[in-house]
Amino acid sequence: MRFLFIKLRHIGDSLLLTPTIVATKRKFPDSEIWVLVRNSCDSILNGCPEIDRVLCTANPDSAHRRHGDILSDLKLATTLRMTSFDYVFELTDNNRARLFAIAARTKNRCTNEHRTLKWFWRPFFHRICTIKRYSHHQVIRDYTSPREALELPPDPPNLRFEAKKTLALGLPVKSRAFAVFHCHTRWERKSWPMERWEQLLSSVLDFTPAVVISCGPDPEEIASTRTLAAKFPGKVFSTEGRASWTQLAELLHEASYFVGVDTAAMHLAAAAGCPTVCLFGPSPAFEYHPWQVKHWMIRPQDWLSEDDVKKIPRDSLMMQISVDRVVAGCRDAAGLSSTKV
């Protein structure tokens, strides 16, 4: 059998698809699994050996488009049309992904019910899952349609990223004697001030021998993590934007705990089984919290419902997370206390 899963969202969303991939491969061990994601999302799937082929389409963001993207997408659609699939699962919930699903040749085309699924799309899909988008974790939402169509087990497995022992960053840290911090995100509204990260480091170094700060290849991220590490010489180290997802996964396998905002790195920590302290502001925590790993969610106001949180200005939510609450979460993750955060 041959399956195609389409998920044209961000890097972390691609990793959240891996439990569905793993469950499908376990049920059909001789199957061939294809995944279609956006450009730059393919590398986060390198740790999922159950995937046989990854296809990429252009980023819909105009700032990232390149000359020839339209031609590349036409070639991609042709490849899908020339390939016979037993099942195609469109899990993005947008029109662009639906067009690729329609291009694929199959007798079993599946998608989710969503407000963007207009009447004219329905004849092209053989099965429409009615799960509500904003009432379940994203892993569950991705899993439900394949579970129903393929009769998979009721519960999805863990996230999948198999570390390959290829760490070559030369960082002077010992196994289980360091934490990993990931301070940056492309979304300004999800960011926590750098001065608070500095205060957090000053506190956690009292009970954590060393901290590795991971960051992406963006020059501003590299510069700020260098500045932060320089304030704690010999104890705090930056990956300098050089760590691949595989290398970061290996770090997380060896770390005592992880601290970060809602990013792909946070989900990778969950895939690595690393105890996770996560800072959630405007992101819906019920939909994107770390999947099946011990974690501590630090939210602006825990006593408020998600609907109440939405009424607070999004840019101010992260500012309501205090350093003391994150330190308490880190102490718990390090196994030093049992403090409500």
Q: What is the side-by-side strand order in the sheet with 87-90?
A: 53-57, 32-38, 2-7, 87-90, 109-112, 127-129
Query: Are both 46 and 97 inside the same structural domain?
Result: yes
Share of the chain above pLDDT 90, in %: 74
Establish if 244 belongs to a structural domain: yes
Distances, alpha carbon 52 to alpha carbons 78, 104, 182, 260, in Å: 19, 17, 30, 31
Quick one: 294 and 207 in the same domain?
Answer: yes
Residue 173 domain flag: no
Same domain, 83 and 192: no
Write the CB contacts of 96 (distance below 8 Å, at least 6 apart in sequence): 8, 57, 60
Tell me, yes or no, whether 119 and 241 share the same domain: no
Nearest to 291 by CA among 11, 13, 90: 13
Residue 156 lies in a domain: no
Name the stretches of the chain with pLDDT < 50: 340-341
Q: Are residues 125 and 190 in the same domain?
A: no
List the one residue out of 289, 272, 268 whose CA is nearest residue 140: 289
Query: pLDDT (tens digit, 9 = 90+) per residue, 74-100?
Result: 999 999 999 999 999 999 989 999 999
Average pLDDT, the chain: 90
Domain closes at, from 150, 165, 192: 150
* Rounded-to-integer distance, Cα 181 and Cα 166, Å: 20
Q: Look up the domain containing 212 and give its range.
A: 178-333
Are residues 28 and 64 in contact, defined by beta-carbon separation less than 8 angstroms? no
Residues 299 and 199 in one domain: yes
Q: What is the pLDDT of residue 216?
A: 92
Question: What tokens does 312 get?
Answer: 């607070």
Q: Which helix (H) or strand (E) holds 296?
A: strand 295-298
pTM of the model: 0.92
pLDDT score, position 131: 80
**Are 65 and 132 found together in one domain?**
yes
Q: Are strands 53-57 and 105-106 parallel, antiparallel or unpaired?
A: unpaired
For position 17, which CATH number holds? 3.40.50.2000
236 close to 172: Cβ distance less than 8 angstroms: no
